[in-house]
Every structure is written in C-alpha cells, then in structure tokens.
Amino acid sequence: MTKVHPEFAYQSRELGGQIDGILGDPPNRKNYDMMVDALVGEYTDGGGIEDVNMMSFALVDRISFSNPKGLLREAADYDGGGDPAKVFAMASCDGEGAAMYAAMTDNHPDLARQAIITAFLFKNPRLWDEEDHSFDKLGENDDGDDVDDDDSGATDDFAQMFDQDGDQ
C-alpha cells in the first residue's frame, strides 16, 4: 500500500463524512443530487467555494481516473511543488462535468489538484494507507534511552535560590 500525505488522508475522510451528512439517514438522494448540482453550477460558472472538500464533493460522482499510480505518487505531497497540469491529465470528467472540470482547473489550479487527488483517494480507499501518528506507533522501538542524565538535576546555585534556611 502506498502511504499518502496525512492531509490528503484527512481530506478523504472528511469528504466521506460530508457525503454521509448530506445523504442523511435514511439516505435522501434528492437532497444529495440538489447539493451536487448546485456545486457543479457554481464551479462551472467560474466561482464556487474555494475549499478542497466542496470541490472534491462536486467532482466525486463525475470524475474518472486514467492513471491511479500517478495519482498515488502525487498524493505524497499535499502542497504540490510540481505542475498541477500533470494531475489534471490523470483525470477527466465527461458530459456536464467537463465544463466544471475545465473551469476548476483554469480558475483554481492548486486547489483543483488537491480536490482531484482527494476525490481519487475517497473513491479508492484500498489503494492507499496513511502514516500512523498514534502515541503507540510513535512509542514503538523507544526504549527510553534518549534521556540525558547529565542535565536532569538542578545546579547548586539554582537550588540555593529556593533554600529557606539559607545554607551559608
């Protein structure tokens, strides 16, 4: 499994929560479709909310991916020091989504890059894994030998500052 940047893992989980929240319980596909249609319209017109999750929400049902391995490589770097056009070439939208995709990539290239990768990760959760930053994982192989005993005690000068008896 490929490790992805922690922010992409977070955004992918957030997208799932957002989708579940809009669908509701029991799922109401009509509300969901209205939300997606509104987002698609906003982004197609060149506007829309400048937010990774909103943008990936608008993309997720309309996007297809042509280079999963390339997108996984790109998911290692959230801020993307490279060319966003490289990511744009790995995905596409057909039909009414094509105009939205073109507007997103033209008007918000860095954000669109992140949204495309987030949508990809959301749709392909078995292809990636995230780094474990839990305390248990961080404590693995830590035998506690990194404590420097030389600096652990207080100096005599420091201790005497608080000496009530005034050892003189």
Structural domain contains residue 151: no
Domain hosting 110: range is 2-130
Domain-embedded: residue 148: no
**pLDDT for 66:** 96
- Ranges of residues in the chain with a pLDDT under 70 are 131-159, 161-168
Instruction: Let me know if residue 9 belongs to a domain.
Output: yes
**161 in a structural domain:** no
In a domain, 35, yes or no: yes
How many domains, in total, are found in the chain?
1
Give domain status of residue 146, yes or no. Answer: no
Rounded Cα distance, 31 and 22, in Å: 7
What's the CA gap between 112 and 54, in Å, rounded? Answer: 11
pTM for this structure? 0.77
Q: How far apart are the first and last CA of the chain?
A: 67
The confidence score (pLDDT) of residue 80 equals 72
Does 109 map to a domain? yes
What pLDDT score does 14 carry?
Answer: 96
Q: Is the dihedral of CA 129, 13, 104, 35 positive or negative?
A: positive
CA distances from 48 to 2, 5, 57, 140, 157 (A): 32, 25, 12, 44, 64
CA nearest to 65, candidates 109, 124, 10: 124
Determine how many CB atoms are found less than 10 A away from the CB of residue 162.
Answer: 7
Please, are residues 140 and 81 in contact by the beta-carbon 8 Å criterion?
Answer: no
- Domain for residue 135, yes or no? no
List of residues 6+ apart from 55 with CB closer than 8 A: 39, 43, 48, 49, 104, 108, 111, 112, 114, 115
